[in-house]
Every structure is written in C-alpha cells, then in structure tokens.
Amino acid sequence: MTRDEFHSFLEYVYNEYLRKRVHRIGRHFDHPEMSHHWEYEWQGLKRALHVIDYAQLYCDDTDDIYRTFRLDRLRRAVDEIRNGVRWNNRLAREIGLLDALDQYYEQLVSGLDAEDFPAEEYELMSEIGFHNPKVDLQGIICLLKMRQREKESWQKEKMCVSGELERAAEILSSAKDDFKEQDSNSSEKSEPPKKSRRWFKGLGKIGQGAAMSIADICLAAGFLKFPVSPETQTWGVLVSATAGTGLVLDGVGELRGE
C-alpha cells in the first residue's frame, strides 16, 4: 500500500467511525467542573508517570524501588494510571475509536509511519515523560510492527482491542492490593511479592500509551490549545491513538510477564 493509499484508508476509517461521533466528548469539557476534573485526572496521570520514570532511571533493582518509594505512593501511581486507562477507554468508546481499532488495528499498525504524526505529538510526548520523543516514536512504531508480526505467526484470530483495554484496567485494579501498607495490628504477617522492574516498565508503558491516546483524542476534538492541521483533526487521531493503544497493549504483556 502506498502512502497516498494508506492516507485514503485513514480518511475512510475516520469518516466511517469517528466523524459523526467526535463531538460527543464535548460534554467532558464544556462545563467548568468537567474541565477541572479533566485537568485533575491529567495531572494525576503525569505525576504517576514521573514516579515510574524516576524508578526506571535511578533505582538499581526491584528492592531499590521499594526502598525509595512508600507502598502508598506506588499504590497511588497504579491507581492514577488505572484511572487514566479507564478515562481513555471512555473517550475512545464515545467517539467510535474503539470500534475502528477493533476492526482495523492490524492494518493501522502496519501502515504507521512517523511522518504521519502531527508535530504537536512531540511536545505532548515530552510532557508525559518521553526523553527523546522523535527517537522514542520511531522505536514505538518498530516495536508495534514487530509485535504484530510475532502475533500473526501464531495467532490468527483478530485482536479485540477494546477487550484488551478493559482487561488492562482490571489488571491494575487487582494490582492495587499488592501495594497495601501492612496493618501493624493485623495477625496476618505475609506480604505480597514485590513487583519486578519489568512489571514497573510495563506499568509505565500503559500510562504513557493511555496519555498519548487521551491527548490525541482531545487534540483532534479541539480541546487542547495547539493549532493543528486539518489532517490532525481528522485521520491524524487514528495514527496517534493507534500508537498509544499499541503501547498500552505492549505494557499489559510486560505486566503478565510475556
């Protein structure tokens, strides 16, 4: 498929699934209290990503992560990222993005190209903890294409992206209990096993992927203060949100130890 053909495909998918529904997320931002809630959730997600980023950069091993952060702070980070995933799922469902990804995720991944991402993507990626956005974006694209080829070699059925995203939120809900501070008055002395560095890496991917997708949905709908091209407000959201969603799915694999 040529680039022009892929762009026509993107425009077709956007027109079929998103064009008539993207206005629906306006209710999340039209009222001051909803805008305040949006900002609160967004800042919480970014704070959690900074915690995970610090753990990856400066903690030598799993034990060092637990020495550096109280369990309550790690638990809150998990909760903030879980909330971000749920928020992304809600927005993506309302505008028809989940329907499009369920139908065409593999085709969208196969056509990803860094040149199709809006310039605003790099600023957004810097805001959510990517240290070298241009290089990181190229790496994400390569990773998702490799994962897709690996999947195609052994699993023939179509991936239900919406189901995987819901599962991500469920996994994080269950994981919160593994970061409870032990009650000093409790007779129960057993502690849950510590999460590995790989687990925290997966958690970071899930958070960054959800943040990318949320930001791109809002960018396309005109709710972020960036001047954007017509392509960004139409099929550009498919390119960017596909990459963000793929990063979430890859992070879930890290959490499962795959």
- Residues 94-122: tens digit of each pLDDT: 999 999 999 999 999 999 999 888 777 88
Q: Answer whether residue 181 is part of any domain.
A: no
- Count of structural domains within the chain: 1
Q: Answer whether residue 187 is part of any domain.
A: no
**pLDDT for position 190:** 62
DSSP H or E run through 215: helix 197-220
**pLDDT for position 28:** 61
Q: Answer whether residue 99 is part of any domain.
A: yes
Q: Is the pLDDT of residue 251 over 70?
A: yes
Q: Answer whether residue 151 is part of any domain.
A: yes
Surface-to-core class of residue 209, CB atoms within 10 Å of its CB (0-12 exposed, 13-18 middle, 19+ buried)? buried
Residues 6 or more apart whose Cβ sits within 8 Å of residue 114: 134, 137, 138, 141
Q: Is the pLDDT of residue 88 over 80?
A: yes
- The mean per-residue pLDDT over the stretch 214-229 comes to 68
**How far apart are alpha carbons 54 and 173 in whole angstroms?**
22
- Residues 23-45: tens digit of each pLDDT: 777 666 666 666 666 778 889 99
State the maximum Cα–Cα separation within the chain, in Å, rounded to a whole number. Answer: 66
Per DSSP, the three-state class of 218 is helix
Domain range for 237: 3-176+194-255
| Owner of token pair 């993207």 | 22
What tokens does 48 get?
A: 């959690």
